[in-house]
Amino acid sequence: MEVKRTTSHSMLKRIVGPVALWAVTKALESPKVKKSMSRVDQKFYKQRRKAERSIARASANAMNNRVWLAAGLAAIVTGISLVATASKKR
Q: Using one digit for the tens of pLDDT, what is the confidence trace for 39-86?
A: 998 998 999 999 999 999 999 988 899 999 899 999 999 999 999 988
What count of Cα atoms within 13 Å lies in the side-chain half-sphere of residue 85? 6
Is 6 or 81 the better-scoring residue by pLDDT?
81
Tell me the residue range of the domain where 50 lies: 12-86
- Say if pTM beats, i.e. exceeds, 0.85: no
Residue 31 lies in a domain: yes
Counting the structural domains of the chain, the total is 1
Alpha helices in 1-90 (DSSP H): 8-28, 31-64, 66-86
Say if CB 69 and CB 62 are below 8 A apart. yes
Residue 1 lies in a domain: no
